[in-house]
Structure 1
Amino acid sequence: MAAIRSLPLLAAALAATFTLTAPAMAADAYPSKPIRMIVAYPTGGISDAVARALGEKLSLQMGTSVVVENKAGAGGSIGIDAVAKAAPDGYTLGFASTSPLTLNPHVGRVNYDPQHDLAPVMSVMYSPVLVVATPAFAGKTFQDVIGQARAKPGSVRWATSGLGTVGHVMLEQVKAKSKADVTLIPYKGAGQQMNDALGGQFEVMSTNASPMLTQHMQAGRLRAIAVGAPKRLEALPNVPTFDELGYPKANLTSTFGIFAPGKTPAAIVNKLNAELNKALAEPEVRDRLLRGGEVPTGGTAAQFATAIRAESAENARIVKEAGIRAD
């Protein structure tokens, strides 16, 4: 009789043991099929190049293929939405900046909950945001931009890759501090913005570092006059940061990383994080980032999640104060 009465206790113990070990077992068996990596931006850009480089390394390290798929649009929100709605099994990942989680929800409507529908896996890089003068601007420095805008209100046109982007937030912070009358020219993406910059269709633009931008600056067609970055860039030692210029709130960068669906098991997230850190440390991957003007980061999933929460809170404050809306 005693043995019969103990059966429920034995069953409960076995169930508890299975519950505790199941996630670890799932991580041990992972991956057993190809992994899809959604890049939230078009092909050909630095994000696409870095995602493909990481995918190649993950394929070798994890013994399965990593298929890169581009889903661009809405400042990265379309690609991130696809990740948020995927099965949380580790077989769908996303590569995007943090803006779809920390900025886009504050300036417009998104179809996902950035706090619950996505799991940060690893910070990959930060991309400095450069303010670049075009052939239409006769001045030499960022101070000249402010001087002209004050002397001739509306005469300085500042282009961004879109409403509610990091470059737009940067401009609003500059305007708030300087009280200068600068005209916003929002584009729908960076491609046409770059073409019009070369044609002198506006005086300055804010844009992320990229190999194409570097080529145009080296050829003298465009000139960097300020940068959002923790310190001056090694490749542009004469270009001051916004901190140095007296605009600390405009000293913004774009952070990019890997995301998974929100309910992906922690064991799988941690396994991916370890493999991604290993891939990011490979010399050819780091060199590809550095050549494009990006700065490799890495770190734990928990560190990335903490940074995202802090960035979201700060962006919410900035957007509210500046009255920024994308729709």
Structure 2
Amino acid sequence: MIQRRRILQAFAPVPAMLMDGRAFAQSTPIRILVGAPAGGSTDTLARTLSIEMGRLLGRTVIVENRPGAGGNIAADAVAKAAPDGNTLLMSFTSHAINASLYPSLPFDPVKDFTPLTCVATSPSVLVAHPSLPAKDVRELIALAKAKPGKLNFAIGAVGSSLHLAGDAFKMQSGAYIVNIPYRGTAPALQDVLAGQVDLMFAAVGNAQAQIRAGKLKALGVTSAKRLPAFPDVPAIAEVLPGYESSAWFGLFGPGQMNPELAKRLSDAARQAIATPDVKKRLELEGAVPVGNSPDEFARFVQAEIPRWAKVVKFAGAKPE
């Protein structure tokens, strides 16, 4: 009987009482704040994750959208929330970019948050209108250098990871390509499809249907290696060694969270990421599941901030 009880306890839901003595109250929903509008990739991934996390924790987990200021509104709310595990943040690459993009922030992107896990990364693809006379990245660089300022990039959002993917490309290649900003990815992509703009870095999930239909030409992917979805499309790193620019989505809590609480939430998120339903949803979004430990994610975020700062400085980007 004792052995049976121990086995049952080992597979029981995460306990409600934590090491710091405060209740992880089951009557209170866990809120995951998202600094992006409903329907986008960050929101979709948060909602998919919330269902499995709720099941694993034996709690209600809801998603609350607080878009604006590149994710800073939601991040500020979480930074100022009690570290009791009831308010979390599903953030994205801008969490690291904003540290240098904005002249000042009402929070510290490292000290005021507890990293729980990186949920997924999302490589992008460099696409062009089929009429562009370059079939790969090497030919594109040669064309841009032969005609400096004649080619252009459509930018869906100034300061976004896709915007800075283009500036990182220009920084490493030495090519001069003009940025044309848009208010949103959809109109930017539409103008590339129409041939009004030459090039764009687009999320794989947004562009793969048009690539397969021959309406867009894929020149290279931003991951370190080729993607299984496009095995014939080279990684840009094959021409520009060291080039890599993937968006990422991560789960944070407020700073100063109890380590045991942070571990329980991280473990639940990581188990959720590993489930078939969540993995399938991530793949539909063109994302690659990660699910690393809090320490690994913390080191990743700390490295991302100075990496993006170099690109922001090169681009001279300013928040909209």
Q: Is TM-score (shorter-chain normalized) higher than 0.5?
A: yes
Deviations 1:8-33 (A, max 9, x none): xxxxxxxxxxxxxx951547745441
1:108 to 99, 102, 106: 102
Residue identity in the other structure for 2:299 = T
Residue identity in the other structure for 2:219 = I
User: What CA distance in whole angstroms lies between the structure 1 residues aligned with 2:37 and 2:177?
Assistant: 30
Residue identity in the other structure for 1:161 = G
Deviations 1:260-314 (A, max 9, x none): 1113222211110011111111011111112322110012111100111111122
Tell me: CA distance 1:131–1:197, structure 2 relative to 1, closer, same or farther (3 Å).
Answer: same
Residue identity in the other structure for 1:312 = I
User: Which is worse superposed, 122-131 or 306-315?
Assistant: 306-315
| 1:35 match | 30
| 1:199 match | 194
After TM superposition, list the pairs within 5 Å mapping 1:84-163 onto structure 2: 84-100=79-95, 102-109=96-103, 110-135=105-130, 137-163=132-158
After TM superposition, list the pairs within 5 Å mapping 1:123-272 onto structure 2: 123-135=118-130, 137-210=132-205, 212-248=206-242, 250-272=243-265
Deviations 1:91-123 (A, max 9, x none): 1111121322x2112022332211222211111
Tell me: CA distance 1:201–1:72, structure 2 relative to 1, closer, same or farther (3 Å).
Answer: farther
1:137 CA drift (Å):
2.6
User: Which is worse superposed, 196-205 or 171-180?
Assistant: 171-180
Secondary structure of 1:126's partner? strand
Are 2:275 and 1:282 aligned? yes
Task: Give the alignment's TM-score, normalised by structure 2.
Answer: 0.86
1:230 CA drift (Å):
2.4
* Contact 1:27/1:267 (8 A) holds in 2: no
Tell me: CA distance 1:40–1:302, structure 2 relative to 1, closer, same or farther (3 Å).
Answer: same
CA RMSD of aligned residues (A): 2.2
User: What CA distance in whole angstroms lies between the structure 2 residues aligned with 1:262 and 1:310?
Assistant: 18
User: What CA distance in whole angstroms lies between the structure 2 residues aligned with 1:271 and 1:295?
Assistant: 23
After TM superposition, list the pairs within 5 Å mapping 1:14-53 onto structure 2: 23-24=18-19, 26=21, 29-53=24-48
Q: Which has the higher helix share?
A: 1
* Contact 2:167/2:314 (8 A) holds in 1: no
| 2:12 match | none
Deviations 1:30-87 (A, max 9, x none): 5441111112222222222221111111121112211111222332222222222222
1:291 to 281, 284, 299: 284
Secondary structure of 2:253's partner? strand
* Contact 1:36/1:67 (8 A) holds in 2: yes
* Contact 2:99/2:305 (8 A) holds in 1: no
* Contact 1:145/1:156 (8 A) holds in 2: no
User: What CA distance in whole angstroms lies between the structure 2 residues aligned with 1:245 and 1:220?
Assistant: 24
| 1:308 match | 301
| Identical-pair percentage | 35
User: What CA distance in whole angstroms lies between the structure 1 residues aligned with 2:301 and 2:215?
Assistant: 36
Tell me: CA distance 1:178–1:313, structure 2 relative to 1, closer, same or farther (3 Å).
Answer: closer
User: What CA distance in whole angstroms lies between the structure 2 residues aligned with 1:137 and 1:43?
Assistant: 34
* Contact 1:177/1:247 (8 A) holds in 2: no
* Contact 1:31/1:62 (8 A) holds in 2: no
User: Which is worse superposed, 310-319 or 293-302?
Assistant: 310-319
| 2:13 match | none
In our comparison, the structure showing a higher alpha carbon Rg is: 1
* Number of equivalences: 303
Secondary structure of 1:103's partner? helix
1:176 CA drift (Å):
2.8
Tell me: CA distance 1:275–1:28, structure 2 relative to 1, closer, same or farther (3 Å).
Answer: farther
User: What CA distance in whole angstroms lies between the structure 2 residues aligned with 1:50 and 1:268?
Assistant: 22
1:232 CA drift (Å):
0.7
Gaps of 5+ in 1: 1-21
Tell me: CA distance 1:279–1:27, structure 2 relative to 1, closer, same or farther (3 Å).
Answer: farther
User: What CA distance in whole angstroms lies between the structure 2 residues aligned with 1:230 and 1:293?
Assistant: 15
* Contact 1:135/1:199 (8 A) holds in 2: no
Tell me: CA distance 1:247–1:72, structure 2 relative to 1, closer, same or farther (3 Å).
Answer: farther
